[in-house]
Structure 1
Amino acid sequence: MTHPVAVKACLFDMDGLLINTEDIYTETLNEMLAEFQKGPLTWDVKIQLQGLPGPEAGKKVIEYYELPITLDEYDKKNVALQSLKWGTCKFLPGALNLLKYLKSKGIPISLCTSSNKSKFNGKTSHLTEGFDLFDAIVTGDDARIPKGRGKPYPDVWQVGLKELNEKFHTDIKSDECIVFEDGIPGVKSAKAFGAHVIWVPHPEAYTVLGDTEALLAGKGELLSSLEKLQKNKYGL
């Protein structure tokens, strides 16, 4: 099946899709949970956290594991543990090659992440070779995204596409875009945005994804890796 509309732009999630930060999140959260004799984090819980803005994910963890700390304390502990490991972030298979390929073809690409600016910088400052390829970068704390409108709402993609259209003086529509995602909230947000979704879940997430076909509802496809993307299928 070919994509019915010629793809004019590609929009990317970051964590767990382009770089291995989902594994780092699991590792650091398990360290924190162990402090309270809780955990470990399992994928049935983790799947609910993926793609959420930090405060929302934090609330879920505190409630689920009944942690005796405030959201602020949780955040401070998290930041301290994570910042020690962001330097180990690396591109996942196929990610960097795909970005380079799209750039070489002149296809506008935007990064749309739920991570705030400081976390984004921590995760990517040593990976400039890939992240300098993006035509637009939108972080979760962007002032143009109203509070409480993180994924599964489509706002982050709308801002990312708006930036591309402004930069290239184009009028690309959401249904002329591919959104690349790894998490369920992200897939829902991409569908709400109106794009075609390429969904690349974490290899360990498959047992808890539920009915993937029903979630995609004919608006995208599930891949085991970005390396498996058939570019010609989308006219890329």
Structure 2
Amino acid sequence: MINATAVEAVIFDMDGVLIDSEVVYMNRLRWFVRDFLGKQVPEERLLTMVGATGNGHFEAVREYCPPDWDIEVFRSHYREFGKDKPIDYPGILFPDALPALEWLKGHGYRTVLATSTVREKAEEIKALCGFGAYMEFVLCGDMFRESKPNPEIYLRCLELLKLPGEKCLVVEDSPYGIEAAVRAGIPVAVRRERRFPVDQRGADWYIDSLAELPGLLTGGLK
């Protein structure tokens, strides 16, 4: 049986875990295809982008784009579309995020960030939201050849932490992230998503708030 009380380091995903961004990103992509391309994307297609990189966003709507578009053309138009629609990242920071990180720091846990988001955007978000100060290091999707569900990002976390998987806990929300952590041999706690159907099977624990982490790590939450 997996023992959460043996954990020494907590590895956080960012989107859907520290910031409530998944719905925001889904809607932006929906509006881009609707307003820029004049098409409607089914909900099930949009769900495939949850936890994915920018490449995953393109793949989710590729069939609705002109046939001559590649990822770079998509990114160019998508960036232009979003210029006058900035995301208020501090406004979508989960209110339980900083208190949980503060508790972990105060109780001697090491905390790191492992996100599929590219470095430039991740640096911007963590600075705006204030959780960067709690992270021992940050790993981003564009540092690796493949993003989640490839376990490479989490395996690299273990190397840098110099800890075995059973001494760590990954906090995730997406099917890609869950699979990546499982393949890396690290126990997973998942923040439940109840607003839209996303496959969160395969985790070891399910939480509704990061405020539950202290109970999980000290044996008070089963």
Fold shared, TM-score > 0.5 on shorter chain: yes
Identify unmatched segments of 5+ residues in structure 2. none
Over 3 Å counting, the alpha-carbon distance change for 1:53 and 1:39 in structure 2 is same
- What per-residue deviation string (whole Å, max 9, x for no partner) do you get for residues 192-217 of structure 1? 11111111133313x343xx5xx32x
| Alpha-carbon shift at residue 121 of structure 1 (Å) | 2.7
Over 3 Å counting, the alpha-carbon distance change for 1:41 and 1:100 in structure 2 is farther
| Structure 2 residue 134 is the aligned partner of structure 1 residue 133 | yes
Q: Aligned partners of 1:17, 1:39: CA distance in 2, in Å? A: 28
| Alpha-carbon shift at residue 57 of structure 1 (Å) | 3.1
State whether residues 2 and 233 of structure 1, in contact with CA within 8 Å, keep that contact through their aligned partners in structure 2.
no
Q: Aligned partners of 1:40, 1:122: CA distance in 2, in Å? A: 29
The 5 Å alignment of 1:58-73 reads 58-63=58-63, 66-68=64-66, 69-73=69-73
Q: Aligned partners of 2:133, 2:180: CA distance in 1, in Å? A: 25
Over 3 Å counting, the alpha-carbon distance change for 1:115 and 1:192 in structure 2 is same
Look up the match of 2:15: 15
The 5 Å alignment of 1:157-236 reads 157-165=154-162, 172-205=163-196, 207-209=197-199, 212=200, 215-216=201-202, 220-227=204-211, 229-235=212-218
Look up the match of 2:47: 47
Which residue identity does 1:151 align to in structure 2? K
Computed over aligned residues only, the root mean square deviation of the Cα atoms, in angstroms, reads 2.3
SS in 1 for 2:11: strand
Percent identity over the alignment is 23
Look up the match of 1:108: 110
- What per-residue deviation string (whole Å, max 9, x for no partner) do you get for residues 150-178 of structure 1? 1111111122232233xxxxxx1012111
Look up the match of 2:119: 117
Over 3 Å counting, the alpha-carbon distance change for 1:56 and 1:27 in structure 2 is closer
Look up the match of 1:152: 149
Identify unmatched segments of 5+ residues in structure 1. 166-171
| Alpha-carbon shift at residue 141 of structure 1 (Å) | 1.0
- What per-residue deviation string (whole Å, max 9, x for no partner) do you get for residues 26-74 of structure 1? 23212211121222552x22332122222233123213xx211332121
Q: Aligned partners of 2:180, 2:187: CA distance in 1, in Å? A: 11
Q: Aligned partners of 1:140, 1:96: CA distance in 2, in Å? A: 23
- What per-residue deviation string (whole Å, max 9, x for no partner) do you get for residues 74-105 of structure 1? 11222334454234443113111111111111
Which residue identity does 2:111 align to in structure 1? I
**Aligned residue-pair number:** 214
Look up the match of 1:168: none
